[in-house]
Amino acid sequence: MNKRRVGSVYEEKAAKYLEKNGYRILKRNFRCRRGEIDLIASGKEGADSVLVFIEVKYRLSDSIGRPEEAVTPLKMKNICRTADYYRICNGIPEDRTCRFDVIAIQGDNLRHYKNAFPYVQ
């Protein structure tokens, strides 16, 4: 399988996990010139609704590092810029609570890192 196909398989696995845990998937593979966000979802954080931007990373093993380690500072910055563009395109107010999560899949093990990194300018 090529990388895009493999990525789609694991993004689907992550989306099913999120839906099972009460999230609503709003968008998959949102792209702009600045980058791509794998999944965008709506979830609950206490009594508030939160907009969640999710990066999905997969590794067969940890021989080249854990999947979450592939979310570099540059990748974080690009995700934040892409999230800004998504919010502008969809008329989402600046005061809407947002969060950046990472879902790391290694073999059959899925780890969900909520609030994996802060907004990066």
Phi first, then psi, for residue 75 (nearest 5°) are: -60, -40
Task: Examine the pLDDT at 107 and tell me if it is beyond 90.
Answer: no
- Find residue 100's DSSP bridge partners: 53
Backbone φ, ψ for residue 45 (5° rounding): -130, 95
pLDDT tens-place string over residues 1-15: 556 666 688 899 999
Tell me which residue of 77, 118, 108, 101 sits closest to 23, measured CA to CA: 101
Question: Exposed e or buried b for every residue in 39-70, given b needs 16+ CB within 10 A?
Answer: bbbebeeeeeebbbbbbbbbbeeeeeeebbee
Q: CATH number for the 3-113 domain, one of 3.10.20.30, 2.170.270.10, 3.40.1350.10, 3.90.1150.10?
A: 3.40.1350.10
- At residue 64 the predicted structure's pLDDT band, cuts being 50, 70 and 90, is confident
What number is the average pLDDT over the span 25-37? Answer: 95
Whole-number pLDDT of residue 21: 94
Sign of the C-alpha dihedral, residues 109, 110, 114, 117?
A: positive
Torsional sign, CA 69, 73, 74, 75: positive
Look at residue 37 and tell me whether its pLDDT is greater than 90: yes
